[in-house]
Amino acid sequence: MSDVSVAVQAQPVSTGREAAPPIAWGIVGCGDVTEVKSGPALQKAHRSRLAAVMRRDGDKARDYAQRHGVPRWTDDPAELIHGSDVDAVYVATPPASHLEYARMAAAAGKPVYVEKPMATTLHEANAMRAACAQAGVSLFVAYYRRALPRFERVRELIERDAIGTPRTVRATLTHAAGPAQRDARREGWRFDPEIAGGGLLMDLGSHALDLLDHWFGPVTEIGGHATAVQPGGRVEDEVSARFVFAGGVHGVGLWSFQGGAEIDEILVVGSHGWISVPLFAEGAVRWTGRDGAEQQEMIAHPAHVQQPLIQQVVDELRGVSGPAPSNGRSAARTQAVLDALLHGQRWRRAFTP
Q: What is the structure's pLDDT at 73?
A: 98
One domain, residues 98 and 179: no
Give the CATH number for residue 169.
3.30.360.10
331 with 237, same domain: the answer is: yes
Per residue in 256-313, pLDDT tens?
Answer: 988 788 999 999 999 999 999 999 999 999 999 999 999 999 999 999 999 999 999 9
Cα 41 to the center of its chain, rounded Å: 15
Domain boundary among the residues 123, 142, 161 is at: 142
Domain termination site, one of 142, 163, 195: 142
Positions of the chain with pLDDT lower than 70, given as ranges: 1-18, 177-187, 231-232, 344-353
pLDDT at 350: 40
Q: Is the dihedral of CA 303, 308, 313, 317 positive or negative?
A: positive
Helix (H, G, I), strand (E, B) or coil at 146: helix
Domain shared by 130 and 87, yes or no: yes
> What pLDDT score was predicted for residue 229?
79
* Cβ neighbours for 179, distance < 8 A, ≥ 6 positions apart: none
pLDDT at res. 223: 92
Question: What pLDDT does residue 18 have?
Answer: 63
- Answer yes or no: do 133 and 159 share one domain: no
Any domain includes 90? yes
Please check whether residues 79 and 177 belong to one and the same domain.
no
What is the pLDDT, as a whole number, of residue 193? 76
Q: Is residue 230 part of a domain?
A: yes
Instruction: State the CB neighbour count (10 A cutoff) for residue 135.
Output: 19
Q: Which residues contact 199 (CB under 8 A, 6 or more apart)?
A: 190, 191, 193, 226, 228, 235, 236, 237, 239, 257, 342
Residue 206: how many CB atoms within 10 A of its CB?
A: 24
**Nearest CA among 317, 353, 304 for reference residue 119:** 353
**Residue 180: count of CB within 10 angstroms of its CB:** 9
Residue 314 lies in a domain: no
Same-domain pairing of 138 and 245:
no
Interstrand relation of 23-28 and 48-54 (parallel, antiparallel or unpaired): parallel
- Decide if 3 is inside a domain: no
- Same-domain pairing of 129 and 154: no
- Last residue in a domain, options 95, 112, 142: 142
Q: How confident is the model at residue 221, as a pLDDT?
A: 94
Is residue 305 a part of any domain in this protein? no
Asked if residue 329 and residue 186 are part of one domain, the reply reads yes
In terms of residue numbers, what domain contains 60? 13-142
For 325: left if phi > 0, alpha if psi spans -120 to 50, otherwise beta; the answer is: alpha
Edge-to-edge strands of the sheet including 112-114? 72-74, 48-54, 23-28, 88-91, 112-114, 139-141
Instruction: Give me the number of domains the chain comprises.
Output: 2
Judge if 154 and 129 occupy the same domain: no
Angle between helices 122-135 and 328-342 (to 10 degrees): 160
Residue 306 within any structural domain of the chain: no
Helix (H) or strand (E) holding 264: strand 263-270
User: Are the CB atoms for 122 and 202 separated by under 8 Å?
Assistant: no
Q: At what angle do helices 98-107 and 122-135 cross, to 10 degrees?
A: 10
**Same domain, yes or no, for 75 and 107?**
yes
Indicate if 109 and 189 belong to the same structural domain: no
Q: Are residues 115 and 158 in the same domain?
A: no
Q: Could you tell me the CATH number of the domain that includes residue 55? A: 3.40.50.720
Helix spans in the chain (H): 39-44, 58-68, 77-81, 98-107, 122-135, 149-159, 193-196, 200, 206-216, 307-317, 328-342
Q: Would you say residue 315 lies in a domain?
A: no
Distance CA 221, CA 50 (A): 41
Gap between the Cα atoms of 216 and 260, Å rounded: 31
Question: What per-residue confidence (pLDDT) applies to 318?
Answer: 96
Does a structural domain hold residue 167?
yes
Tell the burial category of 74 from Cβ atoms under 10 Å away from its Cβ (0-12, 13-18, 19+).
buried
Span 104-147, pLDDT tens digits: 999 999 999 999 999 999 999 999 999 999 999 999 999 999 99
pLDDT at position 69: 98
